[in-house]
Structure 1
Amino acid sequence: MLKAPFAAARVAAASLTILIAGCSGMPAQRAGTAERLYILNCGEGEAGDVSRWSPGVNVGQPMPFVDNCYLIKHAQGWLLWDTGVSDAIAAMPGGLAPADPKAVHWRRPKTLASQLAQLGVAPSDLRYVAISHAHPDHIGNVELFPQTMLLVQKAEYTWPGANNAPRFKPGHPVTTLEGDKDVFGDGSVTLIATPGHTPGHQSLLVKLPGSGAVLLSGDAIHFKSNWDYRRVPSMNVDKDQTLASMQRIADLLAQYHAQLWINHDKAQRDTLKLAPAFYD
């Protein structure tokens, strides 16, 4: 048992911590880590002209692309980051050819549904589906999870699609965000606002007990050379926002000594282990 003076000092210190947190407007939080991170194959393809993503560089050159989804296990529940191109493409023998020959011709070697089943995870087991942005190669399977809470930036959710159509199905449970979001309240999984590619693009910072911090770029960065030379794709909605988001990512990488995982970069993806293997 603590002697009275020491016990009183400990209580006073705890009270001071709570008081400081309250005065700053920030909740007192404990540092936490996620349990596991799985990389899922959510599409394979080839861009007809990679200069669509790197203006003026490698004009007319094809380039392989990959499309990753990430499944995160946390004590409070499962989170799926992005959903890839539609599982329906798996049934198309030649894949899905784009209307623009410069864009990506997608194939689906494995469905998202089958990869989750292999891990023993049912769609209803997911607590959250978080979306980097609303392009079809990232939201292709959102409706495999019709009852799962969708986490998306408000600027992305309200961004009109073709003919002003909604990009997400009305009625799907959704939490719209305005800025960063500590998903589980312990600092282990944080949505990071990184607009520029689209109006409400976001990235994801995941902290793992053994592997350390990993920042999942979404499409804030498409491949390593764009990151190295700070190149901005021609289709991005705002170049200045894109460059500011790249700098924010660089600052976070330095702050947390984090790895940068670039979603579409096949060369990098081929060095990583895919599900059912995992990072912890």
Structure 2
Amino acid sequence: MMSVKRLGLIVAGLVAVLSLLQACSQPIVSQAPASGVQRLYILNCGEGVAGDISRWSPGVNVGKSMPFAGSCYLIKHAQGWMLWDTGLADSVAAMPKGLRPSDPRAITWYLPKTLAAQIDELGLKPSNIKYVAVSHSHPDHIGNVDMFQNSMLMVQKAEYESPGGSSLRSRPSATVTTIEGDRDVFGDGSVIIISTPGHTVGHQSLLVKLPRTGAVLLSGDAVHFKENWDNRRVPSINFNAEQTAASMQRLANIMASDKAQLWINHDKAQRDGQKLSPAFYE
């Protein structure tokens, strides 16, 4: 007769084999690393009317007026908050006739709600923002940069050192990081500053990889509205036409490789279809 001890060993061996077979039958699922980005808020940082959009598309739509938008983007990351562009100065909100340009073809800007109020609505203070990055140094993108004295400002070195960057150079140097080329902001590939010169000497755009929405590419002023993007038109007011065309092609390449949506900062028709803060994208 088989001993009880021997029988027990056989049963234990069979259980081990069955467990191994069951484990092998399970599909192997590779887990992609989780994005450190948790949320992205679109803030209303300006609304305006362009007097003549041929200023941005030479020879096309001459004399045609067009509504513009100005957006800022607040990103919640596991390592801290980041603000992309600071929009028009909050003082514009107190101008009932708007901020009027000297060139009638340009944009008359209005500010329905201050940036400070929108940040406060989310339960935040400017001191909670770890990084502030600006696409470039034009007033409708850096109007509130001084509100974030404790934040690290991230800007292309060429932009910072250009004549247009003079207002940025008033900050203490310890609160400025100058970049040459691209920069992985948090080191995990989820928020990447992309060098896209042309509109200005040191213009940059931003790639944000959201866990549910997917990748979004924030254009800055590498392109101003969809029709110009579709036709690859270069504004006559840009710093360098060849760099502008190359930067637009680079954005197109990133859109293809990362399956990214292009969010065009000044395209009001696009923004009217988006969720504004306090709603958010994940």
Output the aligned Cα RMSD. 1.0
Count of residues in Structure 1 that have an aligned counterpart in Structure 2: 248
Q: Residue 193 of structure 1 corresponds to which residue in structure 2? A: 195
Report matched runs for 1:198-209 at 5 Å: 198-209=200-211
Residue 244 (structure 1) aligned with residue 265 (structure 2): no
Alignment of 1:60-79 (within 5 A): 60-79=63-82
The SS at the match of 1:67 is: strand
Question: Is 1:121 aligned with 2:127?
Answer: no
The higher radius of gyration belongs to 2
1:106-185 to 2 correspondences below 5 Å: 106-161=109-164, 166-172=166-172, 173-185=175-187
Q: In the superposition, relative to structure 1, how do residues 75 and 252 fare at CA in structure 2: closer, same or farther (>3 Å)?
A: same
8 Å contact from structure 1 (residues 89, 108) kept in 2: yes
**Cross-structure match for 1:98:** 101
Identity value in percent: 67
Name the CA distance, whole Å, in 1 between partners of 2:36 and 2:176. 25
Give 1:187 shift. 0.2
- 3-state secondary structure, aligned to 1:151: strand
Q: What whole-Å deviation, never above 9, does each CA across 1:225-274 have from its counterpart, x for those lacking one?
A: 11000000011010000000000000000001010000000110011000
2:259, 2:128 → 1: CA distance? 31
Distance 2:132 2:143 in 1: 12
Report the Cα distance in structure 2 between the residues aligned to 1:60 and 1:33, rounded to whole angstroms. 46
Paired letter, 1:167: S
Task: Read off the aligned partner of 1:238 and give its amino acid letter.
Answer: N
d(CA) in 1 for partners of 2:157, 2:49? 31
SS of residue paired to 2:163: coil
Q: Secondary structure at the match of 1:242?
A: helix
| SS of residue paired to 1:137 | helix
1:4-49 deviation line (CA, Å, top 9, x unaligned): xxxxxxxxxxxxxxxxxxxxxxxxxx66341000000000000011
Alignment of 1:6-25 (within 5 A): none
Indicate yes or no: 2:49 matched with 1:50: no
Output the CA distance in 1 between the equivalents of 2:48 and 2:171. Answer: 32
Runs (4+) of structure 1 moved beyond 4 Å?
none
Normalised by the length of structure 2, the TM-score is 0.86
Gaps of 5+ in 1: 1-29
Deviation at 1:147, TM superposition (A): 1.7
In 2, the alpha carbon distance for the partners of 1:169 and 1:141 equals: 14
CA contact (8 A) 1:31 1:188 kept: no
How many angstroms apart in 2 are the aligned matches of 1:169 and 1:96?
A: 24
Q: Structure 1: how far apart are the matches of 2:169 and 2:263?
A: 29
User: AA paired with 1:243?
Assistant: A
Show the counterpart of 1:277.
279
Out of 39, 42, 62, the residue aligned to residue 42 of structure 2 is: 39
**Normalized against structure 1, the TM-score is what?**
0.87
- Partners of 1:78 and 1:65 in 2: how far apart? 27
Secondary structure at the counterpart of residue 67 of structure 2: strand
Give 5+ residue unaligned stretches, structure 2: 1-32
Partner of 1:213: 215
